[in-house]
């Protein structure tokens, strides 16, 4: 018993301290600005339950992360196919009995709590691909391996698109590409995949795209290309977001003093979640936004360092997949809020308000730390 306690203690001490600090900073920043995005002045105070809910989700995500750090990541790799099958089952269940919000069936109502299975399906996909690419069951660097990976990724991708949730589905593409690159898949296959992606984008933007996209999805793309075509409707969020970011200047207007946010020009329904970055940029300016990006960059660097030093290929690929998800969300969320990408409704990792996404992001962090603490035999013994 004494030996086991010492071993668990070694596991906790062996975590990546810099990654822990960066994650704590991002979580604290998120809580502060979810509060700010819910603020409506001294008299009105807080509107809704954004902030208290966020505290609970951060606590649940933190607990999930702690459990995953304690458990050897190879346990999840051994059960990867069961996790993958369960995620597909939940995605299918959403299409049958899912709760509709704004016309999309993306959530399951679990005892009054809305859960979004697609967030956990992303992690399950990364785990199963890490096993397939790192397990050696299929001849490495072969077309068969490439075909197997694409088939495995296509099933959750299509189920998520049907919900419809094109934004969440799209982030699977760079994630899978990052894992294929890390697995040393030949460049000719990656190049072919890139051409396929370009062709898909061209098809969506063509007249035939009407049959492939919903009306609101196509409208988002057209509004991205020209926000002024519907400034009081579909283009409102994009325009107000850009104004909020630009009006922050160098140092910002001060905490709780962002006029676009407090006065409701940036809608209250999206400011704490998908559009939290404009709230931060308006109140803390270019300096605050830059420090936020620096924190993301440092955390991502910690992930890549863990992937580089992992003791086995599957562990390295697992971390690369989680890093790919993390990077894709940061780029797409910030890109859409400053007008560089279409509005997709993707939250900002560790910062935006959200339940399933917060828990799944911290679960991914826990898996990365599980790989990190088991880089040497001393730390993995008897765990």
Q: DSSP of 124-172, one letter per residue?
A: HHHHHHHHHHHH-SS-TTSHHHHHHHHHHHHHHHHHHHHTT-HHHHHTH
Residues 340-363, mean pLDDT to the nearest whole number: 91
* Cα R_g (the chain), whole angstroms: 21
Closest to 292 in 3D by CA, of 237, 351, 209? 351
Range in 155-164, 194-203, 351-360 the model is least confident about: 194-203
* Residue, of 15 and 235, whose pLDDT is higher: 15
Q: Round to the nearest angstrom and report the end-to-end CA distance of the chain.
A: 12
Most confidently predicted of 85-94, 269-278, 367-376: 85-94
pLDDT for the residue 219: 64
Q: How confident is the model at residue 326 (pLDDT cuts 50, 70, 90)?
A: very high
* Residue, of 198 and 359, whose pLDDT is higher: 359
CA distance 289 to 245: 9
| Residue 159 is assigned to a structural domain of this protein | yes
| Residue 110 is assigned to a structural domain of this protein | no
Q: What is the SS3 assignment for 230? A: coil
Q: Where are the beta strands (DSSP E) in the chain?
A: 99-101, 104-110, 113-115
| Residue 70 is assigned to a structural domain of this protein | yes
pLDDT for the residue 193: 76
Residues 28-44, mean pLDDT to the nearest whole number: 79
Q: How confident is the model at residue 161 (pLDDT cuts 50, 70, 90)?
A: confident
Beta bridge partners of 158: none
Q: How many folded domains does the chain comprise? A: 1
Whether 127 shows a pLDDT value over 70: the answer reads yes
| Residue 106 is assigned to a structural domain of this protein | no
| Residue 238 is assigned to a structural domain of this protein | yes
Whether 33 shows a pLDDT value over 50: the answer reads yes
pLDDT for the residue 2: 44
Taking a C-beta distance cutoff of 8 angstroms, is the pair 328, 171 a contact?
yes
Taking a C-beta distance cutoff of 8 angstroms, is the pair 192, 207 a contact?
no
pLDDT for the residue 216: 60
Most confidently predicted of 199-208, 234-243, 299-308: 299-308
CB count in 10 Å sphere of residue 195: 10
Residues 285-297, mean pLDDT to the nearest whole number: 96
Taking a C-beta distance cutoff of 8 angstroms, is the pair 116, 356 a contact?
yes
Closest to 50 in 3D by CA, of 237, 246, 275? 275
Q: What is the SS3 assignment for 249? A: coil
Q: How confident is the model at residue 227 (pLDDT cuts 50, 70, 90)?
A: low
* % of the chain with per-residue pLDDT over 70: 80
| Residue 295 is assigned to a structural domain of this protein | yes
pLDDT for the residue 220: 64
| Residue 298 is assigned to a structural domain of this protein | yes
CA distance 263 to 39: 10
Q: How confident is the model at residue 1 (pLDDT cuts 50, 70, 90)?
A: very low
CA distance 319 to 123: 11
Q: Could you tell me the residue range of the domain that residue 14 belongs to? A: 2-89+117-380
| Residue 358 is assigned to a structural domain of this protein | yes
Q: What is the SS3 assignment for 300? A: helix
Segments in 208-250 forming alpha helices (H): 209-212, 215-225, 236-247
Taking a C-beta distance cutoff of 8 angstroms, is the pair 324, 330 a contact?
no
User: DSSP secondary-structure letter at 14?
Assistant: T
Q: Taking all residues of the chain, what is their mean pLDDT, rounded to a whole number? A: 84
Taking a C-beta distance cutoff of 8 angstroms, is the pair 59, 50 a contact?
no
Q: What angle do CA 254, 291, 273 make, to 5 degrees?
A: 70
pLDDT for the residue 380: 39
pLDDT for the residue 44: 47
pLDDT for the residue 341: 83
Burial of 148 (0-12, 13-18, 19+ CB in 10 A): middle
* Residue, of 372 and 11, whose pLDDT is higher: 372
Q: How confident is the model at residue 377 (pLDDT cuts 50, 70, 90)?
A: very low
Residues 351-356, mean pLDDT to the nearest whole number: 90
Q: How confident is the model at residue 172 (pLDDT cuts 50, 70, 90)?
A: very high
pLDDT in tens, 47-91: 556 788 899 999 999 999 999 999 999 999 999 999 999 999 999
Query: Does the CA dihedral 19-126-188-134 come out positive or negative?
Result: positive
Whether 5 shows a pLDDT value over 50: the answer reads no
Query: Does the CA dihedral 298-34-106-240 come out positive or negative?
Result: negative
Whether 260 shows a pLDDT value over 60: the answer reads yes
Residues 176-195, mean pLDDT to the nearest whole number: 83
pLDDT for the residue 232: 60
């Amino acid at each position: 018993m004494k030996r086991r306690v010492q071993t668990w203690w070694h596991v906790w001490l062996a975590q990546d301290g810099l990654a822990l600090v960066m994650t704590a900073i991002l979580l604290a920043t998120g809580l502060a600005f979810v509060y700010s995005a819910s603020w409506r002045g001294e008299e009105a105070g807080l509107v809704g339950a954004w902030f208290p809910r966020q505290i609970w989700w951060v606590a649940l995500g933190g607990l999930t992360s702690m459990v995953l750090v304690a458990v050897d990541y190879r346990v999840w790799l051994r059960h990867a196919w069961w996790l993958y099958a369960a995620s597909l089952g939940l995605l299918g269940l959403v299409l049958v009995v899912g709760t509709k919000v704004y016309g999309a069936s993306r959530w399951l109502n679990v005892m009054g709590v809305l859960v979004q299975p697609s967030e956990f399906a992303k992690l399950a996909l990364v785990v199963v691909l890490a096993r397939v690419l790192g397990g050696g069951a299929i001849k490495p660097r072969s077309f068969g391996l490439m075909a197997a990976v694409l088939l495995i990724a296509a099933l959750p991708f299509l189920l998520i698109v049907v919900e419809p949730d094109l934004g969440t589905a799209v982030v699977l593409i760079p994630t899978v590409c990052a894992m294929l690159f890390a697995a040393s898949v030949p460049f000719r296959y990656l190049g072919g995949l890139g051409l396929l992606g370009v062709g898909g984008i061209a098809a969506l933007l063509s007249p035939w795209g009407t049959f492939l996209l919903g009306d609101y999805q196509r409208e988002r793309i057209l509004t991205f290309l020209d926000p002024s075509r519907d400034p009081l409707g579909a283009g409102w969020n994009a325009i107000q977001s850009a104004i909020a970011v630009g009006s922050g200047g160098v140092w910002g207007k001060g905490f709780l003093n962002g006029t676009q946010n407090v006065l409701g020009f940036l809608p209250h329904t999206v400011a704490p979640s998908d559009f939290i970055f404009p709230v931060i940029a308006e109140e803390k300016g270019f300096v605050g936004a830059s420090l936020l990006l620096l924190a993301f960059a440092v955390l991502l660097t910690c992930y890549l360092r863990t992937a580089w030093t992992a003791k086995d290929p599957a562990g390295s690929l697992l971390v690369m997949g989680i890093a790919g998800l993390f990077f894709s969300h940061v780029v797409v969320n910030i890109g859409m809020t400053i007008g560089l990408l279409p509005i997709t409704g993707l939250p900002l990792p560790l910062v935006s308000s959200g339940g399933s996404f917060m828990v799944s992001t911290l679960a991914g962090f826990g898996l990365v730390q599980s790989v990190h603490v088991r880089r040497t035999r001393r730390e993995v013994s008897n765990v």
